[in-house]
Amino acid sequence: MSETILVTGASAGFGQAICRRLVADGHRVIGAARRIQKLQKLQGELGESFYPLQMDVTDLSQVDHALASLPADWSQIDVLINNAGLALGLAPAQEAEMADWLTMIQTNIVGLAYLTRRILPQMVERNDGYIINMGSTAGTVPYPGANIYGASKAFVKQFSLNLRADLAGKKIRVSNIEPGLCEGTEFSLVRFKGDEKRVESLYQDAHAIQPEDIANTVSWLLQQPKHVNVNRIEIMPVSQTFGTQPVYRD
What would the pLDDT profile of 197-223 be if each residue is shown by its tens digit?
Answer: 888 888 888 899 999 999 999 999 999
248 within domain boundaries: no
Least confident span in 193-197, 224-228, 229-233: 193-197
* Active site annotation includes 149: yes
Provide the percentage of residues in the chain whose pLDDT is more than 70.
100
Ordered alpha helix ranges (H), the chain: 13-24, 36-46, 60-68, 98-104, 112-126, 147-166, 187-191, 196-203, 211-223
Mean pLDDT, rounded, for 102-109: 97
Q: Name which residue leads in pLDDT, 54 or 185.
A: 54
The residues pairing with 233 across neighbouring beta strands, listed in sequence order, are 177
In this structure, are residues 176 and 232 in contact, taking their beta carbons and an 8 Å threshold? yes
Alpha carbon 52 to its chain centroid, in Å, reads 17
Residues 20, 5 contacting (CB under 8 angstroms):
no
Q: Flag whether 33 is in a domain.
A: yes
Assigned domain for 63 exists: yes
pLDDT surpasses 80 at 1 = no
Amino acid, res. 134: M
Catalytic choice (130, 143, 149, 248): 149
Instruction: Please compute the mean of the pLDDT values over residues 141-149 and round it to a whole number.
Output: 94
In a domain, 202, yes or no: yes
Residue 247: CB partners within 8 Å, gap ≥ 6?
none
pLDDT: which is higher, 167 or 203: 167
- State the number of CA atoms in the 13 A half-sphere of 3 facing the CB: 19
Which residues, in sequence order, are bridge partners of residue 235?
179
229: in domain: yes
- List CB contacts of 19: < 8 A, sequence separation 6 or more: 7, 10, 29, 31, 42, 46, 50
What pLDDT shows up at residue 186?
83
Q: What is the mean pLDDT of residues 148-156?
A: 98
Q: Is residue 206 part of a domain?
A: yes
Q: What pTM does this model have? A: 0.95
Q: How many domains does the chain have?
A: 1
Structural domain includes residue 239: no
pLDDT at position 188: 82
CATH number for position 13: 3.40.50.720
**pLDDT at 199 (0 to 100):** 84
pLDDT of residue 160: 98
Q: Residue 2: its pLDDT value, please?
A: 78
pLDDT at 209: 94
**Does residue 107 belong to any structural domain of this protein?**
yes
Mean pLDDT of the 231-243 span: 93
- Average pLDDT along the chain: 95
Domain that holds residue 65: 4-234
Distance of CA 176 to the CA centre of its chain: 9
- Rounded to whole angstroms, the Cα distance separating 233 from 179 reads 8
Q: What is the pLDDT of residues 50-88, one digit of tens each?
A: 999 999 999 999 999 999 999 999 999 999 999 999 999
Binned at pLDDT 50, 70 and 90, residue 185 comes out as: confident
